[in-house]
Amino acid sequence: MTLHRGNSRNSLFERKNITLIALFAVSAFVLLYAPVRSVFTRALYIGAPKIWNVGDVTHSMWNALVSNFYEKSALAKENSALRADVSRMQAQVLDRNLLDEKMKSLEETLGRAQGDNRVVAYVLARPGVSPYDTLVVDAGADNGIAVGDVVVYAGSGAIGEIVEITDASAKVKLYSSPKEEHLVTVGLHNIPVVAEGRGMGNFDAKVPQDSIVAVGDNVVLSKGGYVMGIISLVEAIPAEPMKRIFFRTPFNISEIRSVEILINKRTL
């Protein structure tokens, strides 16, 4: 009897293990074999944007209802919206200054103009939701977007690039994704350094101890010349040969509602 119970327990254990191995194999096949993954992603993204839209509509309706009852909450929300606007405008000013400089330099040296072909896309899912530090936007292959296109916010700061597209949506990998490395130039003297992503729009980098860098200096992506962030902290220990700089995007990544995708502009 005991032997029979033992055998049955063993067979149950084996069945569980076999099920798990089979599930892992199926998962790996679906996710690692690109054509299969693409088919499933496209099928999923037929309905997913609608589900997110339902969530957004419900959320704004709930906010409107609650703000009727709580004036204080409405004021706080307005304050937060105004702060987001200020942050966006600051980013735009940064961009304008940089563009102006660039334009003058180009006109002087080459005398040729350059234009961007931009597509505005609304954000469906933000990095806080996704553990990958990715954005999901509502523009895809139908809008002429391709893998590798650069994504900017408020016409200025480069935030990432397209890594996967479906017909009407795309996934954006943020430059600030943990462990992602990018060649950037820092400060007024354009010191070239390698910046490492820290997630949610944060980066850090090391510059030689005698470099002239200060809080508020711009950090620009070497390839493409897009603004990547503003230095928020400089950590210098005199005994060490390098000092560490921390910088972040001039806006809150998790509050982004729309982005611009630069078609045929690739940093790679």
Positions touching another protein (CB under 8 A) are 16, 19-20, 23-24, 27-28, 30-32, 34, 37, 40-41, 44, 48, 51-52, 55, 125, 128-132, 134, 136, 163-164, 171, 173, 177, 179
Minimum distance from residue 146 beta carbon to another protein (Å): 14
DSSP secondary structure string, the chain?
-HHHHHHHHHHHHHHHHHHHHHHHHHHHHHHHSHHHHHHHHHHHHHHHHHHHHHHHHHHHHHHHHHHHH-HHHHHHHHHHHHHHHHHHHHHHHHHHHHHHHHHHHHHHHT-------EEEEEEEE-TTT-TT-EEEES--GGGT--TTEEEESTTS-EEEEEEEE-SS-EEEEETTSTT-EEEEEETTTTEEEEEEEEETTEEEEEEETT----TT-EEEETTT--EEEEEEEEE--TTSSEEEEEEE-SS-GGG--EEEEEEEEE--
Closer residue to another protein, CB minimum distance, 20 or 236: 20
Closer residue to another protein, CB minimum distance, 204 or 255: 255
Minimum distance from residue 112 beta carbon to another protein (Å): 33
Distance of alpha carbon 71 from alpha carbon 77, whole angstroms = 10
Closer residue to another protein, CB minimum distance, 70 or 132: 132
**Lookup: tokens for 121:** 């896309």
Closer residue to another protein, CB minimum distance, 31 or 82: 31
Minimum distance from residue 42 beta carbon to another protein (Å): 10
Closer residue to another protein, CB minimum distance, 43 or 236: 43
Minimum distance from residue 263 beta carbon to another protein (Å): 19
Minimum distance from residue 214 beta carbon to another protein (Å): 33
Closer residue to another protein, CB minimum distance, 28 or 215: 28
Residue 64 neighbours by CB under 8 Å, 6+ apart = none
Minimum distance from residue 102 beta carbon to another protein (Å): 30
Minimum distance from residue 30 beta carbon to another protein (Å): 6
Minimum distance from residue 128 beta carbon to another protein (Å): 5
Residue 201 CB coordination number (10 Å): 25
Question: Are 170 and 186 contacting, i.e. CB atoms less than 8 angstroms apart?
Answer: no
Closer residue to another protein, CB minimum distance, 99 or 163: 163
Of 181, 183, 176, 247, nearest to 217 by C-alpha is: 247
Closer residue to another protein, CB minimum distance, 181 or 240: 181
